[in-house]
């Protein structure tokens, strides 16, 4: 692909964005009805500010969803502690609600602007960030180009590149170089990720490890946990977390198979998208299962088959209700979900074989014996039953998973060292502006 073609592609993207910009209202309204947009804050998606810009330097942090948001919080806290203003953008309603009470008091929050020139330009012109820090695989062409036009340094932290994304970008090398070449630094999760970003034109690149390893175990309401454990009593319990469309049916069938050999078994089902709760509850009930829906405050009773965790910000609670966890988005070619949170909270980890997006984490966990990959539905059933009935083996997996996470640590300090090179000059700028 020639440089001319790359420039033409980006120009076409820019023009197309300007054309569809006036028609984004109905699109966002539909998403709001589905619970995917905050109706009262839709204006932020057009780049309109939620507050006045404070005086002094400002760093913009962006994280797409809950896991990325939790991972980047320590970085925001570090920068805020240096007296530098910070703003965080997120892309989902769930992530916004989770970080609301966890951000430093002085940090602003907005929903990320649509990657359309009018929205991005409005956002940047208002907040005038001195540094932009993105997480994982957040590569938005118009945002990258607008920041570059303003000569605002862009750093990609906890960077990862899935097989599918790499193949897509590699098919358009000049286009990739035109975008990735704008990053001042890429701190990659692994050697594989680093190699991929380098092949796509990013420089310089360092290997930091996975920031999610260095986050604390997910919190929970201890009183609520104690009460639920009393309610569950001695019932054998397993958890299916971060499930996607189609996997809830698998969970339902596995539960029925387990019920035949383990009377009283309880399944805790936590979908990746809580807004699907009503849909999933209907599906399960149609299959003859008794469901207690957390979002409706339905009580967990002795004959409840499925406890449906369709609330926001309670993953730490759900993960502590059982000692065996199946991690979703993995039974089909979807890329998997983060296994580190279940490892930190103390579960034996099971997953389907499609875990490309978290390859290194799973490789380490499997090597240590902290996780197992299952072939299919029947293999999942067999492993759950075996682990629930074998306390010693389950305990070994839980211990191995926790130890593996501990050994993978250090990403936070390495990432902070990378950011310090860009943040320290801002402390000088802050002091000079204060003298003025």
CB 11, CB 4: distance < 8 Å: no
Give pLDDT, residue 436: 57
Handedness of CA 381, 272, 336, 96 (dihedral sign): negative
Summary mean pLDDT of the chain: 92
Does 364 score more than 90 pLDDT? yes
Say whether both 421 and 400 belong to one domain. no
Q: What is the mean pLDDT of residues 283-289?
A: 97
Say whether both 346 and 233 belong to one domain. yes
- HEC string for 136-169: CCCCCHHHHHHHHHCCCCEEEEEECCCHHHHHHH
Q: What is the mean pLDDT of residues 275-281?
A: 96
More confident residue, 154 or 50: 154
Gap between the Cα atoms of 366 and 372, Å rounded: 6
> The whole model's pTM is what?
0.86
Inside any domain, residue 154: yes
For 275, counting Cβ atoms within 10 Å of its Cβ (0-12 exposed, 13-18 middle, 19+ buried), the class is: middle
Query: Domain range holding 138?
Result: 3-209+410-430
CATH number at residue 389: 3.40.50.2000
Give pLDDT, residue 137: 84
Inside any domain, residue 186: yes
Say whether both 18 and 150 belong to one domain. yes
CB 185, CB 156: distance < 8 Å: yes
The residues that bridge with 87 in the sheet, in sequence order, are: 60, 108
Say whether both 270 and 233 belong to one domain. yes
The owner of tokens 């906890």 is 158
Inside any domain, residue 215: no
Count CA within 13 A, CB hemisphere, residue 235: 27
Say whether both 170 and 232 belong to one domain. no
Catalytic residues: 68
Least confident piece of the model among 25-39, 47-61, 104-118: 25-39
Inside any domain, residue 436: no
Measured in whole angstroms, how far is the alpha carbon of residue 185 from the centre of its chain? Answer: 21
The residues that bridge with 80 in the sheet, in sequence order, are: none
Inside any domain, residue 125: yes
Give pLDDT, residue 435: 67
Does 339 score more than 90 pLDDT? yes
Gap between the Cα atoms of 256 and 253, Å rounded: 5
Inside any domain, residue 214: no
Say whether both 400 and 414 belong to one domain. no
More confident residue, 384 or 168: 384
Say whether both 237 and 382 belong to one domain. yes
Give me the sheet containing 108-111, strands edge to edge. 108-111, 85-90, 58-63, 131-135, 154-159, 185-188, 205-207
Say whether both 234 and 158 belong to one domain. no
Residue 434: pLDDT band by 50, 70, 90 thresholds?
confident
Gap between the Cα atoms of 241 and 326, Å rounded: 6
Give pLDDT, residue 387: 98
Inside any domain, residue 253: yes
User: How many percent of the chain have pLDDT more than 70?
Assistant: 95
Say whether both 149 and 68 belong to one domain. yes
184-227 pLDDT, tens per residue?
999 999 999 999 999 999 999 999 999 999 988 888 999 999 99
Give pLDDT, residue 311: 94
Say whether both 165 and 269 belong to one domain. no
Could you give the 3-state DSSP secondary structure of residue 60? strand
Say whether both 196 and 228 belong to one domain. no
CB 243, CB 271: distance < 8 Å: yes
Residue 241: pLDDT band by 50, 70, 90 thresholds?
very high
Tokens of 109: 């929050």
User: Rg of the chain over CA atoms, in angstroms?
Assistant: 23
368-410 pLDDT, tens per residue?
999 999 999 999 999 999 999 999 999 999 999 999 999 999 9
10-42 pLDDT, tens per residue?
677 776 767 677 767 777 777 877 777 888 899
User: How many percent of the chain have pLDDT more than 90?
Assistant: 76
Give me the sheet containing 371-373, strands edge to edge. 291-293, 306-308, 266-271, 237-243, 324-327, 348-351, 371-373
Inside any domain, residue 89: yes
Gap between the Cα atoms of 266 and 410, Å rounded: 37
Give pLDDT, residue 328: 96
Gap between the Cα atoms of 44 and 35, Å rounded: 16
Give pLDDT, residue 163: 87
CATH number at residue 182: 3.40.50.11720
For 337, counting Cβ atoms within 10 Å of its Cβ (0-12 exposed, 13-18 middle, 19+ buried), the class is: buried
Say whether both 203 and 238 belong to one domain. no
Q: Which residues contact 238 (CB under 8 A, 6 or more apart)?
A: 258, 265, 266, 267, 268, 322, 323, 324, 325, 326, 384, 388
Least confident piece of the model among 4-13, 373-382, 416-425, 426-435: 4-13
287-329 pLDDT, tens per residue?
999 999 999 999 999 999 999 999 988 999 999 999 999 999 9
Number of domains observed in the structure of the chain: 2
């Amino acid at each position: 692909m020639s440089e001319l073609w790359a420039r033409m592609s980006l120009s076409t993207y820019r023009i197309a964005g300007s054309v569809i910009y006036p028609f984004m209202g109905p699109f966002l309204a539909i998403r709001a009805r589905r619970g995917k947009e905050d109706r009262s804050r839709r204006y932020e998606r057009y780049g309109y500010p939620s507050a006045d810009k404070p005086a002094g330097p400002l760093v913009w942090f962006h994280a797409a969803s809950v896991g990325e948001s939790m991972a980047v919080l320590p970085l925001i806290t570090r920068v805020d502690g240096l007296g530098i203003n910070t703003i965080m953008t997120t892309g989902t309603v769930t992530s916004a609600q989770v970080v609301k009470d966890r951000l430093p008091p002085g940090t602003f929050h907005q929903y990320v602007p649509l990657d359309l020139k009018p929205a991005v330009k409005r956002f940047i012109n208002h907040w005038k960030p001195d540094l932009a820090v993105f997480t994982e695989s957040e590569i938005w062409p118009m945002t990258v180009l607008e920041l570059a036009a303003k000569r605002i340094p862009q750093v990609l932290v906890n960077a990862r590149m899935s097989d599918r994304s790499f193949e897509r970008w590699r098919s358009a090398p000049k286009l990739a170089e035109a975008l990735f070449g704008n990053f001042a630094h890429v701190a990659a999760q692994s050697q594989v990720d680093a190699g991929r970003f380098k092949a796509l034109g990013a420089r310089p690149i360092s290997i930091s490890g996975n920031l999610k390893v260095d986050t604390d175990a997910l919190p929970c309401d201890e009183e609520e946990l104690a009460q639920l454990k009393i309610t569950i009593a001695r019932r054998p319990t397993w958890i299916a977390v971060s499930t996607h469309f189609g996997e809830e049916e698998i969970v339902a069938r596995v539960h029925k198979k387990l019920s035949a050999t383990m009377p009283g078994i309880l399944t805790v089902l936590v979908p990746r998208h809580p807004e699907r709760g009503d849909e999933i509850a209907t599906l399960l009930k149609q299959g003859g299962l008794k469901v207690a829906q957390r979002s409706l405050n339905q009580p967990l009773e002795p004959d409840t088959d499925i406890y449906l965790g369709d609330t926001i910000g309670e993953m730490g609670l759900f993960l502590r209700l059982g000692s065996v966890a199946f991690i979703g988005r993995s039974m089909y070619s979807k890329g998997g979900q983060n296994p580190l949170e279940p490892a930190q909270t103390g579960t034996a980890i099971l997953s389907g074989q499609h875990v490309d997006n978290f390859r290194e984490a799973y490789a380490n966990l499997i090597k240590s014996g902290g996780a197992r990959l299952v072939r299919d539905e029947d293999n999942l059933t067999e492993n759950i039953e075996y682990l629930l009935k074998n306390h010693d083996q389950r305990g070994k997996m839980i211990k191995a998973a926790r130890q593996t996470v501990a050994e993978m640590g250090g990403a936070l300090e390495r990432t902070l060292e990378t950011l310090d090179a860009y943040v320290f000059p801002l402390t000088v700028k802050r002091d000079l502006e204060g003298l003025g």
